Structure 1
Amino acid sequence: MMKYSTAEKSFSRKILRLMAILISLAIFLGIGGIIYYHQSIGPVNVQNGELVVIEIPKGASTLKIASILRENHLIKNDLSFRILSKLSKAEGKMQAGRYQMSTSMNAREIIDNLIKGSIFKDAAKFTIPEGFELKQIVDRLESLGLIDREKFMELVNNGDFQYEFLKEIPKGENRLEGFLFPDTYEIAKGATEEEILTKMLDRFDEIFTDDYYHRTKKLNMTIQEVVTLASIIEREAQLEKERPIISGIFHNRLNKGMLLQSCATVQYVLGERKANLSLKDIDIDSPYNTYKNIGLPPAPIASPGKASLEAALYPSETDYYYFVVKSDGEHSFSKTYEEHLRAKNGN
């Protein structure tokens, strides 16, 4: 049996202690490195993210991409980004282009965006309120510098738009009145007049579901008639809860062959929204004047929103045939003309 001298035992203990220290140091450094790595791939500014637009050139290496991101303060460490790219198998998959990134994004989110090619486009926003007439839509888009008026109107009148709801509407003056859905839109700067119109018509197509088409047929109406009625409801009703009731009144009058007598249709002819119409106003000669012509006007008078479309399709069942607006904005509803006169006189 071998015996170790005291010196040899002491040396062995020193070696073991050194190994233990080295192992502990390696573990410490490894843990520290992992912590540092995870911190370094985190967001540069998690609290107040700043939007930064960057350009990734075609054929850029991961090294080049990391450099661009670091220079724009979007990542904390080039090497950590490159390691993450390798671990994520993103190398060679990140796409060239112009991107908008936030300093609150972490490196993984940035890599995902670069792989997806979520390219940033300068965009413009515009809002079309419910009840806007075509001319108001055109005025707004022109004032924002988004359209050429003549080009836009030529497309409105004669554009070749393939939608089910336009199939039976012939080309001609103001063909798209009522079908340019009121909403807030975001478009790429420099979008063409056709692209803008298509976006608005796509939105109408999205809102006017198959159920709406079926309901239109059940009511024995055309789509244009539904939209026309909805546009009148949009202009007459101020409160959401009153739309189905007002729709019910109009349906009742249509079924009885009565004049609709809608001030909104006369205002459309006049080209202005007068608070009170004169006898001369309601005597104006126009197919849109529902004080003189039985039935609906020939086309919509404004762009109705979803609530008015639904009201036109699903009216309240009511015995009312008349309504008049009160001072507080609500309407008073009446079954007979005598009741209506009393309501008008405030009795």
Structure 2
Amino acid sequence: MKKIFAFLFVLVFSLTTACSSGTGAVSSSPSSAGAEESSSDSSPASGSADSSASSAAASSRAVSSPAFSNTSSPASGSKAPSSEEKPKIVKVTIPEGFTLPQVAARLEANGVCGSKDFISTAQAYDFSYYSLVEKIGSSPNRCYRLEGYLYPDTYEFYVGMKPQDAVGKFLRNAEQQIGDKYSYSGMTTDQLVTLASIIEREADDPDNMRKVSSVFHNRLKTGMILQADSTRDYCNLYLVPQFGDKYNKYYNTYPNRSPGLPAGPISNPGADALYAAAHPADTDYLYFATGTDHNYYYGATQQDRDTLMANAGVTPLYAD
């Protein structure tokens, strides 16, 4: 009996130990699983770090992608123009006394617009919203409608610009520079511009411009023809080659023409000539000529003028 008891005791003890051990193995497993979980928890941490980096990268992609597409897409879609693609600007100087055909030729030479396009636009386009142009009116005897109003200056133009925009630049400047600044009793602005355009081609300094102006004003008052060489030259150089004799009698102020101004300006005058037209010198001169010494000689009679020239030992540079 004691033996049986002892056997049972040993058996129970063994089973208890085995159970204990089994529990430990099982409990150690959770522990190790816990360690694995820990490890697995740490994995997100390291993964978190990776994932953070990835997220940062993804976030960076997510942010920079739109930013890239927002900034670079338009740039790739609508590139900033290269220097060749940007509209080229040219500076063009129009000297005092240039004619409309000369202005047109200079613009073409600088690539602004075609000469023929410029001239035809100046003739046909409606610029009447400029007050100066509105005052010109229309006359079948006038050749170049805007002659006299392409104000001489230095301008900036786009290469290949529309001719009406190029003409507009001149007219805007003329509005500012001429406008209603100049007046003379009994003369319209257009008549003053016409007279100034002749003075511009006849004299080359402010003092002589005012004296030449006095000659023309005195001739107009006494009903004499102007006999201005510059009007004859204008006809021969710019009108007759293009239009034959159609406008000759309206612009040439030599014989076979009634007294008075030409039908329109013969050049585009600057400030000095415009001032001289409105403020002639106070003289009784009716004649003047440029001598072979390039000085100007004036007289109330042709004989007075010729005597002065003879005394100076010169002859007229241009024949009367």
Identical-pair percentage: 36
1:235 and 1:97 mapped to 2: Cα distance?
48
Which residue is equivalent to 1:163? 130
Which residue is equivalent to 1:185? 155
CA contact (8 A) 1:231 1:303 kept: yes
CA contact (8 A) 1:248 1:315 kept: yes
Q: Please point out which of 186, 204, 208 is paired with 1:220.
A: 186
Gaps of at least 5 residues in structure 1 are 1-56, 62-95, 101-119, 273-283
CA contact (8 A) 1:323 1:334 kept: yes
Which residue is equivalent to 1:85? none
SS, match of residue 129 in structure 1: coil
The amino acid of 1:206's aligned partner reads Q
TM-superposition CA deviations, 1:146-177 (whole Å, max 9, x none)? 11233212211111112111113227741111
Classify 1:211/1:146 alpha carbon distance in 2 versus 1 (closer, same or farther; 3 Å).
closer
Q: Please point out which of 331, 339, 347 is paired with 2:304.
A: 339
Instruction: Please say if 1:136 is aligned against 2:94.
Output: no
SS, match of residue 124 in structure 1: strand
Classify 1:241/1:135 alpha carbon distance in 2 versus 1 (closer, same or farther; 3 Å).
same
The amino acid of 2:174's aligned partner reads F
Q: Please point out which of 253, 257, 262 is paired with 2:228.
A: 262
Which residue is equivalent to 1:199? 169
The amino acid of 2:220's aligned partner reads L
Per-residue deviation, 1:346: 4.9
Aligned length: 223
Alignment of structure 1 residues 1-347 onto 2, 5 Å: 122-161=88-127, 162-167=129-134, 168-170=136-138, 173-212=143-182, 215-216=183-184, 219-271=185-237, 286-292=249-255, 293=257, 294-346=259-311
TM-superposition CA deviations, 1:57-112 (whole Å, max 9, x none)? 99769xxxxxxxxxxxxxxxxxxxxxxxxxxxxxxxxxx97899xxxxxxxxxxxx
1:58 and 1:195 mapped to 2: Cα distance?
38
Per-residue deviation, 1:309: 0.6
CA contact (8 A) 2:111 2:160 kept: no
Per-residue deviation, 1:312: 0.5
Classify 1:268/1:344 alpha carbon distance in 2 versus 1 (closer, same or farther; 3 Å).
farther
Classify 1:99/1:319 alpha carbon distance in 2 versus 1 (closer, same or farther; 3 Å).
farther
2:81 and 2:188 mapped to 1: Cα distance?
47
1:190 and 1:222 mapped to 2: Cα distance?
36
Per-residue deviation, 1:252: 0.7
1:149 and 1:211 mapped to 2: Cα distance?
31
CA contact (8 A) 2:113 2:160 kept: no
2:69 and 2:186 mapped to 1: Cα distance?
58
Which residue is equivalent to 1:29? none
Which residue is equivalent to 2:63? none
SS, match of residue 125 in structure 1: strand
SS, match of residue 173 in structure 2: helix
2:125 and 2:69 mapped to 1: Cα distance?
38
TM-superposition CA deviations, 1:162-193 (whole Å, max 9, x none)? 21111132277411111101111012333211
**Greater helix content:** 2
Per-residue deviation, 1:139: 1.4
TM-superposition CA deviations, 1:129-151 (whole Å, max 9, x none)? 11111111111112222112332
CA contact (8 A) 2:104 2:116 kept: no
CA contact (8 A) 1:262 1:291 kept: yes
SS, match of residue 289 in structure 2: strand
1:138 and 1:321 mapped to 2: Cα distance?
35
1:121 and 1:129 mapped to 2: Cα distance?
25
Gaps of at least 5 residues in structure 2 are 1-67, 73-78, 239-246, 313-320
TM-score normalized by the length of structure 1: 0.59
Per-residue deviation, 1:323: 0.9
1:304 and 1:285 mapped to 2: Cα distance?
21
2:69 and 2:298 mapped to 1: Cα distance?
67
Q: Comparing both chains, which one has the higher relative contact order based on Cα–Cα distances under 8 Å and sequence gaps of 6 or more?
A: 2
Say which one has the larger Rg.
2
Classify 1:210/1:239 alpha carbon distance in 2 versus 1 (closer, same or farther; 3 Å).
closer
